[in-house]
Amino acid sequence: MDRRNAYPNVTVYHPDPETAAEYYRVLGREFPELNASVASDPETLAPMIPDTEILVCFRPPVEALKEATSLKWIHYVTAGVDALLPARNHLQGVTVTNFAGRPSVADYAMGAVLMLHWNVRKLIDDQRAGVWDHFKTPPLEEFTVGVIGLGSIGQDIARRATGFGMTVLGMRRSARATPHVDQVYAPDQLADFLPRCDFVVLALPGTDGTRQFLGADAFRLMKDSAFLINVGRGDIVDQAALIEALQSGQIAGAALDVFEQEPLPKVNPLWAMENVILSPHIAGATSRYVERVVTRFGEALEHYQRGEDLPHSVNLKLGY
């Protein structure tokens, strides 16, 4: 008997051909019994999608998903599933799981706190110039970090901040108690939350409700000594208002891993700001990333084959 007939049709989609091929290779190595196909463009995906039962993907074309009549499960290879939201009306009854809980994002966030707190850019510039500027810096335990978005990544950030002795404030849709968070606020309490924070860390998903969450009014509520760190999505922040706040000294600085447009255009003034640390959306780009995603997929596949609820499921109505 051909065992492959007993297994579902799995399609791998990623718009980068090399990455798509890597996912396909690792899936084939770890699960040779699967009926797997791979695509990296809409034209290749189109004839595959009607018979696809499981889609392992990143940013699949919305039009193709409308034809996914056999689709039962989407395993999205990143935490944020905002690219699926335009197709959610066509995905009713489809289970969506994501690759949430990446500790490297929390590592990045706390690394950004440390770099901004000790003004590492100045230290590097002084080193290059041979300048011995002996300045004093208070310990982090005297400071407050506010984490907006207390999903798995936000909670990892809170846990790390607690380890540094910082006061940790959090914000989530329902202001319920959360481990490692001293006080939790609801979104309508932003005016009370922001003035207390020395560091504001954004760990929100990209949804209709989070778009432009922080704008000019929010920056006016922040301390002029406060820093913004964004490891969520670029469109959570009104970028023009952020640039104005950074240029005017309304806030002290920022560390940004995500942007409204990626790659960030070379003409964007953020590149030249001395109070800004930029990185090219790498906070979650860990080594052996594909293997980690496939391992998570395999854990969920066992539940799927037993007809059980899948771990790390996403509610597309909420966007996370």
Strands (E), 18-69: 35-39, 54-57
Q: Which two tokens stand for residue 289?
A: 């990333």
Query: What is the Cα–Cα distance from 167 to 235, expressed in whole angstroms?
Result: 27
Nearest to 124 by CA among 224, 274, 5: 274
Strands (E), the chain: 9-13, 35-39, 54-57, 73-76, 95-97, 144-148, 167-171, 183-185, 199-202, 227-230, 253-256, 276-278, 313-314
From residue 255, how far is each of 99, 118, 271, 273 by CA, in Å? 24, 13, 11, 11
Query: What is the Cα–Cα distance from 68 to 91, expressed in whole angstroms?
Result: 9
Instruction: Tell me which residues are annotated as active site.
Output: 233, 262, 281
Query: Do 180 and 127 touch, CB atoms closer than 8 A?
Result: no
Strand partners, 202: 148, 230
